[in-house]
């Protein structure tokens, strides 16, 4: 709290709180300490000014306030915007929140006319519209950053559309895939994440301004005008709902949490791939850090931190859900607690999205090492089984069994499947011919998976082309 907190609370210049008409004593210092929100809701200043301008213009055009008063208000707001943009605006705890800080400053600049701005408005609809505008911007930014990340992934996927790597299930080598295919899996995930933000935006894009305290306004306001001027599709249709709903933020935080979950999975893979035991990719000095004791270390800290951020982001969703749970209609001060978790979550998400896009562009795969690993662990065993089905017309279950025996024979001798002699294959199944060797290389295995969405480089390139068009 600033020094001013001990002076008159939310003073209007005459030692009286802005809402202090019926009060004869000042609130306790602790009351102010728990009540004040300017420390965090100052981040809503641009939205608060936009809302106030839209409201003032509407009041003028509806004849609720005189144009001369309205013009004075708008000029005062322009000065305040200047102060806020240049960092000279005096934020004061005694004015509680961003709404009253701006209104108090307006009064200092233009005098009592400032008091007309709050006609047909309450802080309840004011904060609802400010916060909605902020969350809408955050959702737009997240969607755009997701698309930038998708583009970074696409560029690498195109370069490495046929670079072989092991595909895993249970983190055990399963079947060969390509690095491009693997990266494109994340392009799909992040594409759905971006669309979740767009869906959330469409639902949140209704304007609560004009709901006033909770019941609407007796003044002849035009809510359609303010809604349109703030870029909303329409005004909200129930004044109680308008001031008391925060599901638009919950929905944006859910989309953020799912995105953060996807980011953490990719981050985990980067951590694995950069460890020398894998050695699949390298990050440059730009995206690694050293150790203060072990000179050889190059740690993927950014990936680790992105992996961790989901805790904060999902925590924010949990926080706001619990804040909202069980609240009776309409506005309750509990809702002031909506901002910190939401700001924190989107700060963390934005940084994660930007850092991830940076890391993806930064990484270089070790294609030899990945290709060698792609062939290890009998990764073409399924191809052998499929060959037995195709060429010998075996039921798949029998082919699976024969292949299992071949894997066992190879493993006992410390060989790969392709290193077994034809005689050894025929000892297991006499009808096997040397045609079998053609399907036992990782490259043939990957190239054969031409089904829609499969790992064959031609399929991967088709998906890359589709996404490039979508994102263009």
| Catalytic annotation, residues | 170, 291
Please name the helix (run of DSSP H) or strand (run of DSSP E) that holds residue 376, with its range, or none. Answer: none
Which residues contact ligand ARG (rule: CB under 6 A)? 37, 41, 97, 123-124, 127, 333, 335-336
- B/e letters for 119-132, b = 16+ CB within 10 Å, e = fewer, are bbbbbbbbbbbbbb
Residue closer to ligand ARG, measured from CB, 325 or 333: 333
DSSP class of 27: P
Which residue is listed with tokens 């509680």? 96
Residue closer to ligand ARG, measured from CB, 30 or 294: 30
What is the closest distance, in whole angstroms, from the C-beta atom of residue 47 to ligand ARG in the complex?
12
What is the closest distance, in whole angstroms, from the C-beta atom of residue 327 to ligand ARG in the complex?
12
3-class SS of residue 305: helix
What is the closest distance, in whole angstroms, from the C-beta atom of residue 204 to ligand ARG in the complex?
17
Residue closer to ligand ARG, measured from CB, 188 or 241: 241
Tally the residues of the chain.
472
User: In 3D, which of 351, 342, 357 has the Cα closest to residue 152?
Assistant: 357
Query: Is there a contact between 47 and 133 (Cβ–Cβ < 8 Å)?
Result: yes
User: With 0-12 CB in 10 A as exposed, 13-18 as middle and 19+ as buried, what is 67?
Assistant: exposed
What is the closest distance, in whole angstroms, from the C-beta atom of residue 213 to ligand ARG in the complex?
7
| Rounded Cα gap, residues 115 and 111, in angstroms | 8
| Rounded Cα gap, residues 400 and 394, in angstroms | 10
Phi, psi for 168 (deg, rounded to 5)? -115, 150
| Rounded Cα gap, residues 291 and 44, in angstroms | 40
Residue closer to ligand ARG, measured from CB, 170 or 333: 333
Dihedral-angle region of residue 26 (phi above 0 means left; psi in -120 to 50 means alpha; beta otherwise): beta
Written as one string, the DSSP assignment of 278-294 is T--EE--GGG-B--SS-
| Rounded Cα gap, residues 428 and 65, in angstroms | 94
What is the closest distance, in whole angstroms, from the C-beta atom of residue 37 to ligand ARG in the complex?
5
| Rounded Cα gap, residues 360 and 283, in angstroms | 9
Beta bridge partners of 282: 364
What is the closest distance, in whole angstroms, from the C-beta atom of residue 321 to ligand ARG in the complex?
17
What is the closest distance, in whole angstroms, from the C-beta atom of residue 88 to ligand ARG in the complex?
23
Residue closer to ligand ARG, measured from CB, 124 or 316: 124
3-class SS of residue 11: strand
């Amino acid at each position: 709290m600033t020094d001013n907190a001990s002076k008159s609370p939310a003073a209007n210049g005459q030692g009286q709180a802005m809402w202090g008409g019926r009060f004869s004593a000042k609130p306790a210092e602790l009351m102010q300490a728990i009540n004040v929100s300017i420390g965090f809701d100052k981040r809503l200043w641009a939205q608060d000014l936009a809302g106030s301008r839209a409201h003032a213009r509407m009041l003028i055009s509806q004849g609720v306030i005189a144009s001369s008063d309205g013009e004075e208000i708008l000029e005062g707001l322009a000065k305040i915007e200047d102060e806020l943009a240049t960092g000279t605006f005096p934020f004061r705890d005694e004015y509680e929140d961003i709404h009253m800080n701006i209104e108090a400053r307006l009064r200092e600049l233009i005098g009592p006319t400032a008091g007309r701005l709050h006609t047909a408005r309450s802080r309840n609809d004011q904060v609802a519209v400010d916060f909605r505008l902020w969350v809408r911007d955050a959702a737009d930014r997240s969607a755009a950053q997701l698309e930038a990340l998708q583009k970074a992934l696409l560029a690498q996927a195109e370069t490495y559309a046929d670079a072989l790597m092991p595909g895993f299930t249970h983190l055990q080598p399963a079947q060969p895939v390509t690095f491009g295919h693997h990266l494109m899996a994340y392009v799909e995930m992040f594409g759905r994440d971006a669309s979740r933000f767009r869906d959330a935006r469409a639902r949140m894009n209704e304007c609560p301004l004009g709901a006033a305290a909770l019941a609407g306004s007796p003044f002849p306001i035009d809510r359609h005008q303010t809604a349109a001027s703030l870029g909303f599709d329409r005004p909200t249709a129930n004044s109680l709902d308008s001031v008391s709903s925060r599901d638009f933020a919950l929905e944006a935080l859910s989309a953020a949490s799912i995105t953060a979950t996807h980011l953490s999975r990719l981050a985990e893979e980067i951590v694995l791939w950069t460890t020398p035991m894998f050695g699949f990719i390298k990050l440059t000095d730009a995206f690694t850090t050293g150790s203060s004791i072990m000179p050889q270390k190059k740690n993927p800290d950014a990936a680790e931190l992105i992996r961790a951020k989901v805790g904060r982001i999902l925590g924010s969703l949990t926080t706001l859900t619990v804040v909202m749970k069980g609240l009776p209609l309409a506005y309750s001060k509990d809702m002031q607690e909506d901002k910190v978790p939401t700001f924190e979550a989107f700060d963390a998400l934005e940084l994660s999205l930007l850092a991830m896009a940076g890391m993806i562009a930064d990484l270089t795969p070790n294609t030899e090492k990945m290709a060698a690993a792609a062939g290890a662990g009998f990764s073409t065993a399924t191809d052998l089984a499929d060959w037995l089905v195709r060429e010998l017309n075996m039921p798949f279950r029998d082919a699976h069994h024969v292949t299992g025996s071949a894997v066992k024979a190879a493993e006992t001798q410390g060989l790969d499947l392709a290193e077994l002699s034809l005689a050894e294959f025929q000892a297991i199944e006499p009808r096997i011919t040397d045609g079998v060797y053609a399907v036992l290389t990782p490259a043939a295995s990957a190239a054969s998976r031409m089904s829609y969405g499969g790992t064959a480089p031609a399929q991967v390139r088709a998906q890359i082309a589709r996404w490039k068009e979508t994102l263009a």
